[in-house]
């Protein structure tokens, strides 16, 4: 006898594989995976079935989000937008009346295809498949090297229309970022003038304890069940990764005690988060998540995720190059030019910080190239050039221009030229919410393949959809193709709900379904 369990107000799953008891949704899922063996006579495909059980605590946890870089464009925009949505704010523009929304958020504004009911395609909101937080539920605070309150920071950012800024003033003016860590060697020298809100001294062990205390106080003040620390501050230069410094958790902690110069501010925030049981997400391209931090996260059963928000130009590239390769067209040259005028652009105008961004933006096509040995029989990737220039006048409204040149049929060429005006913080802020919301969801999930339930791996790879240079568990291949990443996430959520995602074959369109 099939059971019927309401998972949300809008979605009811009738299946013997679903059980709800004491606020926990338990689901059984058959994962079909092909295994492969290369033998003398060819590639052998061996289909396997793996039986998974998932347990999902249905009630989302009271969650706090601590932003490193709270007073930056992303921080002030993400915080202000929550108040605008909570109070249903509207504001006038020359095009008409705008109303607060969460467009651009995968969790709040996307839908998942469940199948075809014989009359029409069936889609449901992502947020209705299993219970998840709304951005309105998040409690936000954080740190910044500049002491401007968030109303001042919002005005400096020039993201919101003036009328909306004034409506938000009573909510944002009282919010002043906590003092942050400032090590000038890791960010551009042109940031020195902003650094008037920094933790005193240069003792990194003391800085670690200071940040730990901030996290602890925030959690206690708001009686939080889940805390997430997310870096949305300036891009740092890459730090060295070497034995004795940061390749193990023990070496990393000892390096902080020794005050090693190669320990970055983001390293300190990540370690402080992990030791306080708070999940850590790196929204910038630097290599914060060194092996020692990943090991420390595993030891403390804490999630980490990174690197670098995938919001505008790179998100488009991760979908478009996948389209080209899947169409049998061979990308030969990808040239990406950006100019932007926000503080991120100013910081990236120095070479070492730009190099961090260049790496995260350039690696985004690698897995798509590797997927097609017909087009790319050798290891040679397309020529891929990324340029970023600081142009203060355009402020947060980044201009991204791309040229894609492909080899096509019989020696022909096809060229695509794309001009993309990316309002940087309005694209990045919804990703901040999604990263926090999905991390909180993952904290409520355990699974088993055999006899014992366990949490997901500490490197939370389901966040890859939202990140340019996804950090994945050791030994796991990186996937950057946007729709493949979305499919992975949506199929996981439907599995948690207790039903398989539709195969999208729609075989009933050209055959008869069995009765």
Please list, in sequence order, all residues whose beta carbon lies within 8 angstroms of the beta carbon of residue 117, skipping any fewer than 6 positions away.
Answer: none
- Biggest CA pair distance of the chain: 75
Given 398, 402, 424, 434, the catalytic residue: 398
Q: How would you classify the pairing of strands 397-407 and 413-423?
A: antiparallel
The Cα–Cα gap between 362 and 368 comes to: 12
DSSP state letters, 400-419: EEEEEEEE-GGG-EEEEEEE
Given 144, 214, 307, 308, the catalytic residue: 308
Is 398 known to be catalytic?
yes
Is 389 known to be catalytic?
no
In SS3 terms, 155-206 reads as HHHCCCCHHHHHHHHHHHCCCCCEEECCCHHHCCHHHHHHCCCECCCCCHHH
Is 308 known to be catalytic?
yes
Q: How would you classify the pairing of strands 18-21 and 24-39?
A: antiparallel
Query: By C-alpha distance, which of 331, 326, 335, 361 is closest to 417?
Result: 335
Given 357, 361, 396, 434, the catalytic residue: 357
Can you point out the beta strands (E) in 222-269?
226-231
Contact of 63 with 440, CB cutoff 8 Å: yes
Q: How would you classify the pairing of strands 139-144 and 178-179?
A: parallel
Given 167, 310, 317, 468, the catalytic residue: 468
Is 9 known to be catalytic?
no
At 126, is the secondary structure helix, strand, or coil? helix
Please list, in sequence order, all residues whose beta carbon lies within 8 angstroms of the beta carbon of residue 477, skipping any fewer than 6 positions away.
Answer: 367
Active site residues: 308, 357, 398, 468
């Amino acid at each position: 006898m099939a059971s019927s369990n309401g998972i949300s107000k809008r979605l009811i799953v009738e299946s013997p594989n679903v059980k709800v008891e004491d606020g926990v949704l338990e689901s059984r899922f058959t994962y079909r995976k092909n295994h492969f063996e290369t033998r003398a006579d060819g590639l052998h495909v061996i289909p396997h079935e793996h039986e998974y059980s998932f347990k999902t605590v249905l009630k989302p946890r009271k969650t706090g989000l601590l932003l490193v870089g709270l007073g930056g464009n992303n921080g002030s925009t993400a915080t202000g937008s929550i108040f605008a949505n909570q109070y249903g704010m509207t504001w006038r523009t020359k095009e008409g009346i705008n109303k607060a929304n969460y467009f651009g958020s995968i969790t709040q504004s996307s839908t998942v295809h469940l199948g075809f009911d014989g009359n029409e395609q069936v889609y449901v909101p992502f947020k209705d498949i299993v219970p998840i937080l709304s951005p309105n539920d998040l409690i936000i605070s954080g740190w910044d090297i500049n002491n401007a309150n968030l109303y001042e920071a919002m005005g400096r950012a020039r993201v919101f229309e003036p009328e909306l800024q004034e409506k938000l003033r009573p909510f944002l003016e009282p919010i002043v970022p906590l003092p942050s860590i400032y090590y000038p060697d890791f960010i551009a020298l042109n940031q020195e003038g902003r650094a008037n809100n920094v933790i005193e001294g240069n003792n990194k062990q003391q800085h670690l304890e200071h940040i730990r205390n901030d996290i602890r106080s925030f959690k206690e003040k708001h009686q939080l069940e889940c805390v997430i620390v997310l870096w949305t501050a300036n891009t740092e230069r890459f730090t060295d990764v070497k034995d004795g410094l940061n390749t193990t958790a023990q070496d990393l902690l000892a390096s902080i005690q020794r005050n090693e110069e190669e320990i970055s501010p983001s390293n300190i925030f990540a370690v402080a988060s992990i030791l306080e049981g708070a999940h850590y997400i790196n929204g910038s391209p630097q290599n914060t998540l060194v092996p020692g931090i990943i090991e420390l996260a595993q030891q403390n059963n804490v999630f980490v995720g990174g690197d670098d928000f995938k919001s505008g130009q790179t998100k488009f590239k991760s979908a478009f190059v996948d389209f080209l390769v899947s169409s049998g067209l061979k990308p030969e040259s990808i040239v990406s030019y950006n100019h932007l005028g926000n503080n991120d652009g100013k910081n990236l105008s120095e070479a070492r910080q730009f190099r961090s961004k260049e790496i995260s933006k350039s690696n985004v096509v690698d897995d798509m190239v590797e997927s097609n040995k017909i087009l790319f029989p050798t290891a040679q990737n397309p020529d891929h050039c990324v340029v970023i220039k600081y142009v203060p006048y355009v402020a947060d409204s980044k201009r991204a221009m791309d040229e894609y040149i492909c080899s096509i049929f019989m020696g022909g060429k096809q060229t695509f030229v794309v001009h993309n005006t990316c309002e940087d913080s309005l694209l990045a802020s919804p990703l901040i919410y999604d990263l926090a919301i999905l991390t909180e969801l993952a904290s409520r999930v355990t699974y088993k393949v055999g006899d014992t339930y366990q949490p997901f791996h500490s490197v939370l790879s389901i966040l890859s959809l939202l990140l340019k240079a996804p950090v994945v568990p050791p030994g796991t291949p990186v996937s950057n193709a946007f729709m493949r990443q979305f499919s992975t996430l949506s199929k996981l959520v439907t599995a948690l709900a207790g039903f398989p995602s539709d195969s999208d074959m729609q075989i009933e369109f050209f055959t008869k379904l069995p009765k």
